[in-house]
Amino acid sequence: MAEKNRWDFYRYEDCELCGDCLYRCRYLGLSREEAIEEIKRLRAGEPTRVVHRKCISCYACNTFCPNDCHPYEFITSAWHRRYTERGLPVRASYLMPATGDNFRTDMVKTMAPWEQELLRRWKETPPEGETVLYPGCNALTLPHLLRAPYMEELVISGDFDLCCGEMYFRMGLYDVVAQVAEKLTAHYRGRKIGTMLFVCPAGLNMFRNVLPGHFGAEFSFKTGFLGGYLLEKVESGELEITNKLQRSIALHDSCHGRIIGPEVTETSRRLYAHMGLQVHEIAGSVNEGLCCGMAAGCNRYRPDDMYLAAIKELRAAAKTGAEELATYCSGCHLTLAMMRRLYPGRQPVRHILEHLQESTGLTPYHPASARTRRMLGNVVRKAFPKLLSGKTYRIKI
């Protein structure tokens, strides 16, 4: 058995070597016997034959494990050791939240003045109140999602500097996530917050489970999904659906949405039903769904891995015959909208909050297509030239 260390979150004693976690993975292509053999190699600290070469960090193995053994963290712990020994290749720097100018913050320069004003206001607003909304990096890149009359009761507070650490966690950069946990604990300590809502399931999972469960973060407030807050308003009649959309959507479930479960996945489906949207399931079950592609860059730090994973989901969505591809995660929304530019199809990518705005009579605004075109151009200009560089660096929070 491999020697345990500070960042070993795998529950050895609960693992029955059933192989479900890897056998059910839609990316590894393992038989049950091969899956069990790979787990044994992981437990022994030996090099794997398939897992570390083909894993795209989709997180699904944690949902497949019947005993909650955290096989995902067991896999990415090898990436933590790699980072500790070598650092990150410089080609990854433009895609990291801690970088001064990165693929998200560069988008602010091209936003409309009213969007920039929203960002300024949210940055300066103290995170205190009965219900506080944490926008997260991805919603900050698409601030129009939170511009609606029914959002005005919420205290929206956040900035790019208050990253939840999700990207670092998915890459196995545990030392960096620990720094994020300390920073966020200090930022929210003593704040009078009743419940903190999250636009993205990623932020919710980090604040509720990962940061306190693995990295010692301490938060005194409750946490919840923004979709649940909005669904309650719709079902109570406080928020009226005035425009039934009467369209079909292929619904993409996010990796973190699957981890959290019905609070996110079923809540989103109920909201879509209220809006008159007919959901076409992309996979046979929620847990069997595919990643949007963003996490696929966490293993080898290569944009082509992200592209290939995203195309797999775009093709699966197209096969449903739905008119639109729908997301409830802002990160998935950005990724699929960007990759759709490289794999054109007839399905526009729409966020659940865009659908809600339209169904309540607001004028539709869909900036993701143009915004991700600029984002893609920036990645090509600023990340691709470093693709073959052997230089490395370390992240500073």
Q: What string of H, E and C letters represents the secondary structure of 297-357? A: HHHHCCHHHHHHHHHHHHHHHHHCCCCEEEECCHHHHHHHHHHHCCCCCCCCEEEHHHHHH
- Structure confidence at residue 4 (pLDDT): 57
Question: Whole-model pTM?
Answer: 0.95
The letter for the amino acid at 305 is D
- Size (the chain), residues: 397
Write out the two tokens for 101.
Answer: 């100018």
Q: In which residue are the tokens 């600290």 written? A: 45
C-alpha neighbours within 13 Å on the C-beta side of residue 283 = 16
**CA-to-CA distance for 148 and 238, rounded, in angstroms?**
14
CB 183 within 8 A of CB 397: yes
CB 131 within 8 A of CB 194: yes
Q: Which residues are CB-neighbours of 381 under 8 A, at least 6 positions away?
A: none
Q: Which residues are CB-neighbours of 96 under 8 A, at least 6 positions away?
A: 88, 102, 167, 395
Q: In which residue are the tokens 């090099």 written? A: 47
Q: What are phi and psi of 60, to 5 degrees?
A: -65, -30
Domain ranges of the chain: 12-87, 94-383
- Structure confidence at residue 16 (pLDDT): 97
* pLDDT tens digit at each of 397 positions of the chain: 555 568 889 999 999 999 999 999 999 999 999 999 999 999 999 999 999 999 999 999 999 999 999 999 999 999 999 999 999 999 889 889 877 789 899 999 899 999 999 999 999 999 999 999 999 999 999 999 999 999 999 999 999 999 999 999 999 999 999 999 999 999 999 999 999 999 999 999 999 999 999 999 999 999 999 999 999 999 999 999 999 999 999 999 999 999 999 999 999 999 999 999 999 999 999 999 999 999 999 998 888 899 999 999 999 999 999 999 999 999 999 999 999 988 888 899 999 999 999 999 999 999 998 898 888 888 888 888 887 888 999 998 8
CB 201 within 8 A of CB 256: yes
**Which uninterrupted H or E stretch holds 60?**
helix 60-64
**CA-to-CA distance for 326 and 252, rounded, in angstroms?**
6
The letter for the amino acid at 314 is L
CA distances from 21 to 36, 64, 65, 201 (A): 9, 5, 5, 21
CB 327 within 8 A of CB 339: no
CA distances from 4 to 14, 44, 114, 290, 320 (A): 15, 11, 51, 31, 45
Q: Assign 12 to helix, strand or coil.
A: helix
C-alpha neighbours within 13 Å on the C-beta side of residue 41 = 16
Write out the two tokens for 163.
Answer: 């990253």
